[in-house]
Structure 1
Amino acid sequence: MKVQFALIICALVSLMTTTAIAAPSSAVMAKIISQGVPTDALDRMVRFLDENHGRSFQQSTYDCAKWPDSIRPCDDSERRPTTSVVTLEYPELVSIIDFTQASTSRRFFLINLRTGDVIRYYVAHGKGSGSSNYATKFSNIKDSKQTSLGFYLAGGVYSGSYGKTLRMYGLQPSNDQAYNRDIVLHGAWYVGEDFINSKNPKTGQPFGRLGVSWGCPALSLAMASKVIPQLQQGSVILHYHKDLMEAAMTGNEVSVNEPTKKK
């Protein structure tokens, strides 16, 4: 109990120190949208922050017997169920990942809500969501290797298989198992133009897409090392698909057809 309580207090203190700002002005909103951010996704982000800043969310989490004070993952057999509380403030930096778009689009939008500046990156989706250029299936189901839609709160950073890795807390029924599923933001060698243009050994043709994760959003290794420190402890990340946001709230699998190629 003492360890669990200490973890909760640390999470609350660190998240509450995140710089908070006021809602963006209409001019800032227009500037963000002009840089390709989907209007509906941005509206959802601002509305969610307006309605929930200062709110505490109880999270189903775990700690590990072999390193009880760490947020690093461990095998299921070594996990001890815990409950943590995280508090949402109004961060300056947020991210929207538009999974409506192909993986060959720079569909990760890093957004400064104070200035309206936007930087775009490549980002991979989960293998269970589709092994092609598009993510078409999403859920909150453990071991599905599917991406989960919804709002996430950025937590702490640990050193994982791909270097700096960002813990994320799912704040909605569509993604509230994110911690237990180890849905995190990390870098990966299979993200970037080099992979898109590399040859698939099975076909001899270029992959024409990014690689796929086990459900996590994955940036390139170089970009992850830059972006993750900016997002840790209090930023908000939205996994978005324009056709599935409401349906995804059941937590069950939801899907769409892959877009047809234009001739």
Structure 2
Amino acid sequence: MAVAREAVVVDGDGVILAGGLRAGDRTTAAAYRIDVATGAGVRLPDLPVPVHDTAGARVQGASLVIGGGSSAEQDGVQVWSGGRWRVLGHLPRPRSDLVAATPGGRVVVLGGYDGNRPAEPQILASGDGRHWSVVGRLAQPVRYAACAVVDGAIWLFGGEVDGAMRTAIQRVDPRTGSTRVVGHLPQGLGHAVAVPLGTRILIVGGRTGRDSITDQMLWFDPVAGTVRPAGRLPGPLADAGVAMVGDTAYLLGGETPSVTRQVLALTYR
């Protein structure tokens, strides 16, 4: 299935892909379990609420689809448990265009759009996906940022505000919620993904403008704070889902600019 802006969660020996945007800007409720080693997929029951521009996370053995958009921004947290989807809880406010990370056994939600403000500043955290609290504020609120966790810290790269792509690299301490800008990308970048590979973070694809999708990859060194070129993708790609399985990052779907069903594997050697 060609899809972009979906939730992706590593769940046991497979990857769950849920929701997203299909061709023609159609929001989908479809969900699949995918064996990334073979490419085989099994259709799961649909989400109760179709969403795109959503985020996936796994906490306390449950796979979550958090927030997202459809005809309007959503606050629901949907959970896959016991062979079915159900609405587990709600965020304090609706939020789409967000990212989620799971350092220290909690799920942390960052960035996004609530339907009113240009970008959401509040950082939320939950230990169960049902009860949420505000744990901090972003130094620079953004939508569509790339996100990765290294050594217990959450790193946010770029993002979008009012249609303009941003350059800030933000470091978030999930224990205290404190956030600071520690550097900048070479140019504004949103709708990318970020994955930890080895001791560095690889920033992949994204948009340099609303109508400009890139094939660039960048290395970020969290210790040195440096950004360096890291080669190119086979083609431009934005708004893909990402799953880390072992030492391999799988990019699932995305926009090229058409919605794609391709799966790309990035392995650190």
Calculate the TM-score normalised by the size of structure 2. Answer: 0.22
Higher-Rg member (1/2): 1
Taking structure 1 as the reference length, what is the TM-score of the superposition? Answer: 0.22
Which structure: greater helix fraction?
1
Larger relative contact order, structure 1 or 2 (CA cutoff 8 Å, min sep 6): 1
